[in-house]
Amino acid sequence: MKNKEKKLQDSLSGKRLEDGKEILEFEDQALRNIAEKLKISTETAKLHIANALHAADRAKTPL
């Protein structure tokens, strides 16, 4: 798992430019882990994450 995390960090920092497949696999696995821990479907988990991100975005205060 550490190797995948390192590759993700490298990809996000621009050190590795790949087709994004590894990042998508990492995100998909993270979503499945969240859904499993909360005992909900992955679609419901996506909805909750989207709602949380939207609420966080609205709560930002202008600098």
CA 39 to chain centre: 18
Q: 20 is written with which tokens?
A: 């994004």
- Claim: this prediction has a pTM higher than 0.75: no
Please check the confidence at residue 56 and state whether its pLDDT lies above 70. yes
Q: What is the pLDDT of residues 30-54, one digit of tens each?
A: 899 999 999 999 999 989 988 988 8
CA 24 to chain centre: 8
Helical spans, DSSP H, in the chain: 2-13, 21-38, 42-59
Go through 35-54 and write b for each residue having 16 or more CB atoms within 10 A of its CB, e for each that does not: beeeeeeeeebeeeeeeeee
